[in-house]
Structure 1
């Protein structure tokens, strides 16, 4: 028997004024499942995370996290924000940043004893950051900083890990390393992962299902079910080509009359960035 879902949405609808981002979404995410959320800017990906975090209400429907309504400050949720580098002169050490995930929710003066230090050491080791734990975060690379954010998010042993574009500004090598960290967390610890991204290729081997948002509609299924020419063409209401280039997915197309009437909106960067650097492509 499958374990009960830790994320459950029933007939979930989100609207802003007269604009519908998505409606009648029924979704269950179970322990250890890796769900990728894809779509263009403005399609509701980050809003989807805000709903799960209890930071924004649904327009209609229900959302439950581990059996209770979504609410702010839920310690069963770990959150990895969009990648943004610290200033180079930031003096905060790597281990201190991770430590904020251990006791950062407590008020007042704290005596950090052996248990605290051991937990921070465990988290640094878990994400492969033990070697630079005492280095100021401003001196670390973007990939190293993102490992620390993941460690911080895992500090409470969350049942759900929400990742908001965690691969932005990272090179391909660091994208794969961060993706592997999150993928291992899902499978080894039974953590349900919701991973918002423009780019599916770095996470493709870890993804169980894809939620693709576009033009007020959505489609849901395995990568093989969703990332197909006929499926995305139906979703966008215009022809969209999905190609497999040396084992990497490339989406080609320009949906018309979508996104609040703005024509010639570039296809969301699911994997459109894979076109960069390919022969014959104008990347200006």
Structure 2
């Protein structure tokens, strides 16, 4: 089995007095493409935010490559939920992607020609080069998601976290995003995705993590994506899926 690149032990997190994550422990193998699935309110986005130091943990131990997040954060890329972003901010697509390079550029410094070139190349990979100078507020939801994925790509990270990147996008954008994630995976990158569509899990992901405040099951998709684990995670309140053992 691959050496874990992420290790989480006994994680607990809450919003005010409401516990959202309880005794969460798991590890993610290097080079895996993992779906985090679970019902609304299960703590999927919160888990991602806690791992990325965007929300505090009450207790628990989290390491990346055996080290704390702050020591390796340049090796980690993140695509948040599209709904959490202020798309009315007056900037164009190329500038949004260039923001992914500020670890290299340095804050309060102007990007150089080579930085802009790298950002444009990332937009090309997502089929968005024609929109480089379009205001982000003028883009469709699917186009905005492609721009945010390009911003993550330009970082050339080793681990990518993506919170519902396929939510609310058209079929062509979904195919383009998944093709990009699989290319990253083929390059040995580790990709973790909060995902909502159980019907595509087996086609899209090689690992799956079932979450409902705590870990219900986690492992290779072929081993753990089953009717029993879906029932245990969703409480039986879900329309049945054909083809799942």
Distance 1:170 1:51 in 2: 26
SS at match of 1:244: coil
- Give the distance between the partners of 2:91 and 2:161, measured in 1 at CA: 24
What is the Cα deviation at residue 202 of structure 1?
Answer: 4.5
Q: TM-score, normalised by structure 2?
A: 0.83
Residue 22 of structure 2 is matched in structure 1 by 22
CA distance in structure 1 between the partners assigned to 2:155 and 2:117 by the alignment: 14
Alignment pair present for 1:142 and 2:141: yes
Pick from 187, 191, 194 the counterpart of residue 192 of structure 2: 194
| SS of structure 2 residue aligned to 1:149 | helix
Shift of 1:122: 2.1
Q: 2: distance between equivalents of 1:212 and 1:58?
A: 20
Asked if the contact 2:4/2:27 (under 8 Å) is kept, the reply is no
Deviation at 1:63, TM superposition (A): 0.8
Equivalent in the alignment of 1:175: 174
Figure out how many residues of one structure are paired with residues of the other and give that number.
240
- Which of the two has higher C-alpha Rg? 1
Shift of 1:231: 2.6
1:36 CA displacement:
0.5
Gaps of 5+ in 1: 250-284
Question: Match of 1:155?
Answer: 154
Between the two structures, name the one with larger relative contact order (CA 8 Å, sep ≥ 6).
2
Equivalents in 2 of 1:28, 1:113: separation in Å? 36
Q: Give the corresponding residue for 2:99.
A: 100
For 1:19 and 1:26, the matched residues in 2 are separated by: 18
Q: Give the structure 2 partner of residue 67 of structure 1.
A: 66
1:127 aligns with 2:126: yes
1:231 corresponding residue in structure 2: 229
Q: 2:205 matched to which residue of 1?
A: 207
Q: 8 Å contact 1:101–1:156 — kept in the other structure?
A: yes
- TM-score normalised by the chain length of structure 1: 0.73
Asked if 1:44 corresponds to 2:43, the answer is: yes
| Higher helix proportion | 2
Q: Provide the rounded CA distance (Å) in 2 between the counterparts of 1:137 and 1:95.
A: 9
Instruction: Note the C-alpha offset of 1:77.
Output: 1.2
SS in 1 for 2:62: strand
The 1-side partners of 2:81 and 2:161 are apart by: 11
1:257 aligned partner: none
Unaligned runs of 5+ in 2: none
Q: 1:38 to 1:141 in 2, by over 3 A?
A: same
